Amino acid sequence: MSTENHVNESILNEEIKEWQKKNRIDHMAYLPGMEVLESEVQEKVIASMNNYDYTQYTGADVRRALDHENRTPEDFAALLSPAALPLLEEMAQCAQRETRKHFGNGIYMFTPVYIANYCENFCIYCGFNCHNKINRAKLSEEEIDKEMRAVAQSGLQEVLILTGESRAKSDVEYIGRACEIARRYFKVIGLEVYPMNSDEYAYLHKCGADYVTVFQETYNADKYETLHLAGHKRIFPYRLNSQERALKGGMRGVGFAALLGLDDFRKDAFATGMHAWLLQRKYPHAEIAFSCPRLRPIVNNEKINPMDVHEPQLLQVVTAYRLFMPFASITISTRECARVRDNLVNIAATKISAGVSTGIGEHVEEIEEKGDEQFEISDGRSVEQVYESLLGLNLQPVMSEYLYV
Ligand code: SF4
């Protein structure tokens, strides 16, 4: 496995290395208050990833996988292997057929709303981490209402609420209140917040949240340990079992993602797919979603600019997800430019964000305490522009298909 372009600890300065030595905790041991699930899923995901040797697959394996109507984990493994890259055109055509078969030409639109950017974690690849001196902010209830109202005027009916990961600054009640406010304006509410226990997910579901997305970042626990130096996020198994706790808490859907480029992206994409597949079998009613983020340059750290997941590799991952789990929703975020996003919604992605700002309170002018943006976005198109662009691709923008009776 090549690691030369992967993120590693060498970017840490001496002060932080010293701090880490003193504060290092066992990343595999649950902290007090963290719910421990009696679940076999984690073990199966990690075992399948460890056994995945992508160098053993051939073009014939890939063709066989493409010919199957229902694809197995073995097929998925072949589709993610380097042997599939020369067959990308066939993969894309096959993925496009699957997408149209299950989703028609509909593409769901939504926008993320950042209501706070405080974070207690220390992920070395992220500009929001607790050691980075950025402007932090948290919206009041009144400001959340203004922000949601402003977003709703764009015609969107789905929002994804993000808070950064600080339980102290954005407690569960605060997030619940944000969900209740969002419910006044939107039909579908997603959450991308810190992992929590199943009773807390149940509470947020009662407040109006429909789905929860948690990025595992990497499924390689050893690598994970070197990238997540402090905070609750350091606890690898608690994060990995978030989706299952959310489903136990009654959430309708769960989202999965590895941050492609942090470690060996083929293994991480394979583990992500297996994680989703195993939970789908265990909870057949769950609505499964994938995101496919590639690592981006970040604030205050110019050394991180990973380039090893190029567009063909990204397309390979997205099409492999589609072919393995044809019913899953696949989101393409504004980390990617308009051209890449349009290409992917044309083939396999089914959900696209629009009118995005990763800052706090950016949709309303009179909110003064605006926090810094988490990362640069590459597609700054408005809701209207994305809508028009989808129509131009002969796709149908969908705001929501849920009816509440
Ligand atoms: S990636 Fe998330 S949890 Fe980690 S530092 Fe950034 S905002 Fe915090």
CA 249 – ligand 1 centroid, Å:
24
Residue 121 Cβ < 6 Å to ligand 1: yes
Mean pLDDT across 198-211: 98
d(CA 109, CA 123): 29
Minimal-distance CA residue to ligand 1 atom 4: 123
pLDDT of 305 = 46
* N-terminal to C-terminal alpha carbon distance within the chain: 52
Q: Rounded to whole angstroms, what are the CA distances from 196 to 86, 163, 203?
A: 42, 13, 11
Mean pLDDT across 252-280: 96
pLDDT of 8 = 47
Q: Which atom of ligand 1 is nearest to the CA of 231?
A: 3
Mean pLDDT across 259-274: 95
Residue 170 Cβ < 6 Å to ligand 1: no
Residue 128 Cβ < 6 Å to ligand 1: yes
Residue 119 Cβ < 6 Å to ligand 1: yes
Residue 165 Cβ < 6 Å to ligand 1: yes
Q: Do 99 and 107 contact (CB within 8 A), yes or no? A: no
What is this structure's pTM? Answer: 0.92
DSSP assignment of 256-273, as one string? EEE-BTSS-HHHHHHHHH
CA 354 – ligand 1 centroid, Å:
22
CA 383 – ligand 1 centroid, Å:
26
Q: Is the pLDDT score of 307 beyond 70?
A: no
In whole numbers, what is the pLDDT of the chain averaged over residues? 91
pLDDT of 378 = 86
pLDDT of 303 = 52
Minimal-distance CA residue to ligand 1 atom 1: 126
Q: Is the pLDDT score of 242 beyond 70?
A: yes
Q: Is the pLDDT score of 300 beyond 80?
A: no
For 327-377, write each residue's pLDDT tens digit. Answer: 999 999 888 999 999 999 999 999 999 988 877 877 776 666 566 666 667
For 26-83, write each residue's pLDDT tens digit. Answer: 999 999 999 999 899 999 999 999 999 999 999 999 999 999 999 999 999 999 999 9
CA 404 – ligand 1 centroid, Å:
34
Tell which wins on pLDDT, 211 or 261.
211
For 152-203, write each residue's pLDDT tens digit. Answer: 999 999 999 999 999 999 999 999 999 999 999 999 999 999 999 999 999 9
CA 362 – ligand 1 centroid, Å:
19
For 100-154, write each residue's pLDDT tens digit. Answer: 999 999 999 999 999 999 999 999 888 778 888 788 999 999 999 999 999 999 9
**Dihedral sign computed on CA atoms, order 293, 298, 303, 307:** positive
Pocket test for ligand 1, best of 196, 233, 295, 335 (most atoms within 8 A of CB): 233
pLDDT of 2 = 32
Question: Can you tell me which residue has the tokens 């764009």?
Answer: 154
Tell which wins on pLDDT, 135 or 19.
135
CA 165 – ligand 1 centroid, Å:
6
Residue 298 Cβ < 6 Å to ligand 1: no
16 confidence band (pLDDT: 50, 70, 90):
confident
Q: Do 209 and 189 contact (CB within 8 A), yes or no? A: yes
Minimal-distance CA residue to ligand 1 atom 5: 129
Residue 276 Cβ < 6 Å to ligand 1: no
Tell which wins on pLDDT, 22 or 111.
111
CA 264 – ligand 1 centroid, Å:
20
Q: Is the pLDDT score of 399 beyond 70?
A: yes
pLDDT of 127 = 78
CA 164 – ligand 1 centroid, Å:
6
Residue 164 Cβ < 6 Å to ligand 1: yes
Contacts of 355 (CB under 8 A, 6+ apart): 111, 151, 154, 156, 363, 381, 382, 383, 386
Pocket test for ligand 1, best of 16, 114, 118, 123 (most atoms within 8 A of CB): 123
pLDDT of 297 = 57
pLDDT of 6 = 44
At 176 the three-state DSSP class reads helix
